[in-house]
A and B are shown apart, each in its own frame.
Chain A
């Protein structure tokens, strides 16, 4: 009788707790707190935080390869590369490319803002990480969650949890990280520039765009096909306007469902043994560098384009080239309206913003081509 009670006690998790697990609990609770109380990317960080907690409860088989529930989510959803493309399907159905089509040269701002990806890749390699790890950390600078998860799960799965948490945390911090860089690199005279209205894209053009882009991007970087094809299919659903049911399903039900199965297993990859290393701090620092450099590159590109063009661009919108949609466009609008409150930059900023998403996908495709 006593013996049975003893073994029940010994086989309970309490005797198997480690200090590292307790530290991970704290991290999990901080993320859950930030998500609930501070509205800090709650759609992702709430399930990720809960996943971290689950991964650090000893003796559960949740992440046991071949049998655990979360392991199955992870294996079949992320390792099989199903969930990030499905997220992209939903994002495509939510994205309006008209601001970019109205003003196509803003695409180059979305390209420049990938600068942080490559600068950070280089710094990370120099700091002693392997090429594939450095690429996975660099892509954080694209500020695109699903792309970061997709690339990291293919190149450096051991970094998946940290890279995803860093990417989503900094996306939540975009309104704090970007404005000082934007203001530091521009003069007041540049911030009050009012931009000329772009043309109005016709309905036919908007429907043809996803088809043309799919062909061009898949031909150029075949490894980006999974992401870009789903992204453009979602957009075609949206713009064709004949499959309203599919558009709504992609935007709402499907996107919400896969978001649950994305966050939970990503968090569950962060157990104390793999996460609590100096490397994790390095990843967070490099992720911040990546965001900052990307912002700066976008702004500087806009200033460069102003040197050669008489149709001036407000350089603030360069900062929206990082693909945190639509947070960075909102930040641009706010900073712009501080300088001139009748300057409505929001829709102009959406141009580089959506171009930045495509830019980050191409950057990920280039990494996959070169490193795999």
Chain B
């Protein structure tokens, strides 16, 4: 089963804290989005392995854009 991690808010991707193939636990910090001059970390929705990362550092994302696909 794949689990999609969506952007909770619009902003700029500041850093990516995971790589394809990583095993992550729920609540692990995956991506940091900067909006309104504040860094908002986005956490993994569930345990799993990183299957695909759809953004790169510096990208602007809209709310609900697909960030990462986790396979569980």
The answer, yes or no, to whether B38 is at the interface (CB within 8 Å) is: yes
CB distance from A360 to the nearest CB of B (A): 19
Return chain A residues, CB-CB under 8 Å to B35: 346-347
CB distance from A216 to the nearest CB of B (A): 27
Q: Are A344 and B9 interface neighbours, CB within 8 A?
A: yes
CB distance from A354 to the nearest CB of B (A): 12
The answer, yes or no, to whether A277 is at the interface (CB within 8 Å) is: no
Q: Are B45 and A342 interface neighbours, CB within 8 A?
A: yes
Chain B, 1-47, CB within 8 A of any chain A CB: 8-10, 27, 35-38, 40-43, 45
Chain A, 188-211, CB within 8 A of any chain B CB: 197
Contact of B8 among A326, A329, A344 (CB under 8 A): A344
Question: Roughly how many angstroms separate A342 CA and B35 CA in the complex, as a whole number?
Answer: 16
Q: Are B36 and A326 interface neighbours, CB within 8 A?
A: yes
- Chain A residue at smallest Cβ distance from B63: A347
Return chain B residues, CB-CB under 8 Å to A347: 9-10, 35, 63
The secondary structure that dominates the B interface is loop
The answer, yes or no, to whether A333 is at the interface (CB within 8 Å) is: yes
The answer, yes or no, to whether A303 is at the interface (CB within 8 Å) is: no
- Chain B residue at smallest Cβ distance from A349: B36
Q: Are A342 and B36 interface neighbours, CB within 8 A?
A: no
Question: Roughly how many angstroms separate A326 CA and B45 CA in the complex, as a whole number?
Answer: 27
Question: Roughly how many angstroms separate A342 CA and B38 CA in the complex, as a whole number?
Answer: 16
> Provided the pairs A341-B27, A344-B9, A347-B9 are in contact, do residues A330 and B38 lie with their beta carbons within 8 angstroms?
yes
Q: Are A344 and B40 interface neighbours, CB within 8 A?
A: yes
Chain B, 38-72, CB within 8 A of any chain A CB: 38, 40-43, 45, 63-64
Contact of B40 among A197, A326, A333 (CB under 8 A): A333
CB distance from B68 to the nearest CB of A (A): 14
Question: Roughly how many angstroms separate A330 CA and B37 CA in the complex, as a whole number?
Answer: 9
- Chain B residue at smallest Cβ distance from A341: B43
Return chain A residues, CB-CB under 8 Å to B27: 341-342
Question: Roughly how many angstroms separate A329 CA and B36 CA in the complex, as a whole number?
Answer: 9
Return chain A residues, CB-CB under 8 Å to B43: 341-342
Return chain A residues, CB-CB under 8 Å to B63: 197, 347
Question: Roughly how many angstroms separate A197 CA and B9 CA in the complex, as a whole number?
Answer: 11
A-B contacts, 5 listed (Cβ < 8 Å): A341-B43, A342-B43, A342-B45, A344-B42, A347-B9
CB-based closest 6 A-B pairs: A344-B8, A326-B36, A347-B9, A330-B38, A342-B43, A344-B9
Supplied contacts A326-B36, A342-B27, A347-B63, 12 more A-B pairs, CB within 8 Å: A197-B64, A326-B38, A333-B38, A333-B40, A342-B45, A344-B40, A344-B42, A346-B9, A346-B35, A346-B40, A347-B9, A350-B36
